Amino acid sequence: MEVAGPWTEVFGGSERTDVSDGAEALTLAPLVDDSPSVRRSQPILITSNRGKRVESFSSSVPSIIPNPFPELCSPSKSPTLISSLPPTSSAKHLLKVYGEDRHSRSVWVSPGATAREVCHTLVQTAHCSDQENWALLELHPTLGLERCLEDHEVVLEVQATWSLKGDTRLVFCKNYAKYEFFRKPVLFFPESMISDSADVSKGMTSSELIQNLLRSGTCPEIQGFLQVKESSRKSWKKVYFFLRRSGLYCSTKGSSKEPRHLQYVADLEDLNVYTVVNSRKLYGAPADFTFCIKPSRNPVRAQDLKILCAESEQTRTCWTSAFRLFKYGKQLQCNYQLSKSSPRILEGKNQTEGKSKSEDSLVAMDFSGKTGGRVIQNPTEAENAEREEGQAWRRREALRCSLPNLNPGARPSSIHRSQPWFHGGVSRKEAQRLIEKQGLVDGMFLVRDSQQHAQCFVLSLCFQLKTKHYLMIPFEDGGRKYFTMDDGLTLFIDLLQLVEFHQINRGILPVCLKHPCVCVAL
């Protein structure tokens, strides 16, 4: 192709001009451009064309890259990969929860999952027998602190306040005393601890005042002496404290309530209350009834703890319950009402949806007549027949064990070891700790081996916020071995019969056996 006229070629900043007569002229471009100089220390504006080029480049790349090995990596052909994949929602988080046997279970939870929702998930995952009185326990083993999370607390927000290097964990356990102060407020708030300034309604007794305040989700002002650990010292000092809606105060002069003698200690909105375990060994506490308060948004550090010690378990429970009521107020009342209604709904749902095909095919039969068996249609009659059959089995078992020619080795004397309320050779102190951990409610009990008397057992029972211990001794009558707690007046062939009897009858106990203290395993 021929070009008419002059043409120009550019070679790295130079110009080469060809003229029509064959003469060649080479013009060198200047080394420095005539445009104003650019200061290298100033930022250079980048136009938006670059972003457009990036978009055009990314649009040319296929959005889905085909799988080169579908027969090996396809989720539809690999059940192992399916079980290890997270849920489809990317907002789910993996939460690790421990059981009381120190085994853990991981569950996927949403960012806003509350403690109640996590407990419900664990109940369904672990196939727990009941739906009621479950809780998440925040445990700090090194510092000896533990706290039961409220039902409305967001679990991941609580977990975000933990130290990354700590050993803090969540424990799935029973807690029967979470809302016990709503049922028996007079027991939890004694008249001696109610502040005089709380009696705003004239003519009302202390018990009526407590009932009225708890019904509205509030709490009366609490006062009393507490032992407080002095900072940077091992000594403890007895101080008079006041717990009001505005915060926690202490008196600098005895039990004086004058404003000039009150010193502000903490704000209730920004603190959590923990029970201290093994406080005598860890902090040199004068008693075991120790609790502490700390800022809720900060990681748990020993220097941030305000450690307090009460004179009794009732006093400690009163203070910790008052802290919870002042902090959450009406929310605890809503949680309590929801806890009473939700287990029944869940239980009814499980009974209708959770039955297997084999259970649906079973019917209650009555074979007492001479004409053969009949189907029991009435549900109440079916329950009574089931109860009578269980009692008849116990009578047949007692008769079999009382036969004189029975080999003693064949007697089911160790049947109690398979029961959830039997805890083996735990110590007296450990038994009290287990009962306190699952709730100081009337009727909470466990059975353990006696450490002081051979072949004897101990029944540890909670009554009025105190743990009582009853010795169960072997007793021989007519060459046969029984167990008794009243020096032989009432005899039982084994511990299982003894527990079943006292679940219906008080006997010598102050209250019937209601809630077995069980070890929760995940």
Residue 236: the pLDDT is 93
User: Would residue 11 count as lying in a domain?
Assistant: no
User: Would residue 329 count as lying in a domain?
Assistant: yes
Read off the CATH number of the domain in which 456 is found: 3.30.505.10
Does residue 140 sit in the same domain as residue 219?
no
Does residue 186 sit in the same domain as residue 303?
yes
Q: Which of 335, 357, 374 is the last residue of a domain?
A: 335
Q: What is the pLDDT of residues 105-133, one digit of tens each?
A: 999 999 999 999 999 999 888 877 677 78
Does residue 328 sit in the same domain as residue 190?
yes
Does residue 127 sit in the same domain as residue 196?
no
Does residue 159 sit in the same domain as residue 184?
no
Does residue 322 sit in the same domain as residue 252?
yes
User: Would residue 381 count as lying in a domain?
Assistant: no
Q: Which of 287, 313, 335 is the last residue of a domain?
A: 335
User: Would residue 117 count as lying in a domain?
Assistant: yes
Read off the CATH number of the domain in which 288 is found: 2.30.29.30
Does residue 440 sit in the same domain as residue 458?
yes
User: Would residue 2 count as lying in a domain?
Assistant: no
Residue 68: the pLDDT is 59
| Beta-carbon count within 10 A of 377 CB | 9
Please give the tally of structural domains in the chain. Answer: 3
Q: Which of 145, 174, 203 is the last residue of a domain?
A: 174
- Residue 133 structural domain: 90-174
Q: Are the CB atoms for 419 and 503 separated by under 8 Å?
A: no
Q: Are the CB atoms for 211 and 185 separated by under 8 Å?
A: yes
Does residue 236 sit in the same domain as residue 308?
yes
CA distances to 48, 422, 456, 466 from 451, in Å: 82, 15, 9, 21
Q: What is the pLDDT of residues 175-192, one digit of tens each?
A: 988 888 888 887 788 878
> How far is Cα 4 from Cα 2, in angstroms, rounded to an integer?
7
Does residue 222 sit in the same domain as residue 151?
no
Does residue 205 sit in the same domain as residue 330?
yes
User: Would residue 503 count as lying in a domain?
Assistant: yes
Q: Residue ranges of the chain with pLDDT lower than 70?
A: 1-90, 129, 196-218, 342-373, 386-387, 389-413, 521-522
Read off the CATH number of the domain in which 114 is found: 3.10.20.90
Residue 225: the pLDDT is 94
User: Would residue 374 count as lying in a domain?
Assistant: no
Residue 485: the pLDDT is 92
Does residue 150 sit in the same domain as residue 105?
yes
Whole-prediction pTM value? 0.65
Does residue 311 sit in the same domain as residue 456?
no
Written as six digits, the tokens of 210 are 């407590």
